[in-house]
Amino acid sequence: MTDKALPAFTMVLVIFLAVLIIPFTTWTGYINSEMDLPDRFEGLESWMRAKEDQAAELTSLMITSSGVLTLYVNVIVLAVIPAISEEFLFRGVFQQLFGRVLRSPQAGIWISAIIFSTIHFQFYGFLPRVILGLLFGYLFYWTANIWISVIAHFANNSLLILVTYINEFRSGSAEIINGESVKVDFPFISVILCCLIIYLLWDQFRRAGKTRFY
């Protein structure tokens, strides 16, 4: 994992990418939340719903902000710490481990993304977390720089925290943004813009002759 300084333009693109993907992941989260299992899996579905409700309640309690100081604490606890710890674990360890064992970088990226999503135990948000895990994984794969995925992870989490804080400040409710409130056009525009930025990043790394980490 290289520790070379990142070009400013690269960091800006990565931050924009992490931000612009939010409408799409929010929409896929809404689609995921509409999942309805067959009747024979009623017990499993009840357990999954209970886990989801517990996680949502805990998140709401943590992000409820009564002032700027609480916002700073939330950013540290919910953005800085997860971005560093999760990226070093899932991309820095699991992705490389599975990639080497299976002799397939793609398998390493996908398996670590699935584990990354599963470990949160929020099954109705499984799909958007897999998408984010894949995004972070490919950024790491293309650059061999763990700080690229850390920056993307931090930008994604911190913006959601900031939007929730602003929403509470304006309406008095710490409601987390959800896919139902995202206009239909936004996810598709999000995908198009993200694909454009991904191409720019990939082309930049290719021209710079970046080597892969396995």
Q: What is the DSSP annotation of 77-125? A: IIIIHHHHHHIIIIIIIIIHHHHHHTT-HHHHHHHHHHHHHHTTT-GGG
- Within-domain flag for 165: yes
- Within-domain flag for 12: no
Place of tokens 């061999």: 144
Where in the sequence is the domain holding 189, given as residue range(s)? 66-214
Spatial separation of the C-alpha atoms in residues 136 and 147, rounded to whole Å: 10
- Within-domain flag for 25: no
Two tokens, residue 64: 């409820």
Report pTM.
Answer: 0.80
Spatial separation of the C-alpha atoms in residues 167 and 200, rounded to whole Å: 33
- Within-domain flag for 117: yes
At residue 72's C-alpha, the angle toward residues 16 and 175, to 5°, is: 75
- Which parts of the chain sit beneath pLDDT 50? 3, 172-174, 176, 179-182, 213-214
At 46-88, the pLDDT tens digits run: 656 666 655 555 556 555 656 777 788 888 988 999 999 999 9
- Number of domains, the chain: 1
Alpha-carbon distances of 66 from 30, 73, 137, 159, 177, rounded to whole Å? 28, 11, 35, 18, 18
- Within-domain flag for 42: no
- Within-domain flag for 121: yes
pLDDT for the residue 179: 45
pLDDT for the residue 171: 53
- Within-domain flag for 176: yes
At position 172, the amino acid (one-letter code) is G
Q: How large is the angle between the packed helices 126-143 and 105-118, nearest 10 degrees? A: 140
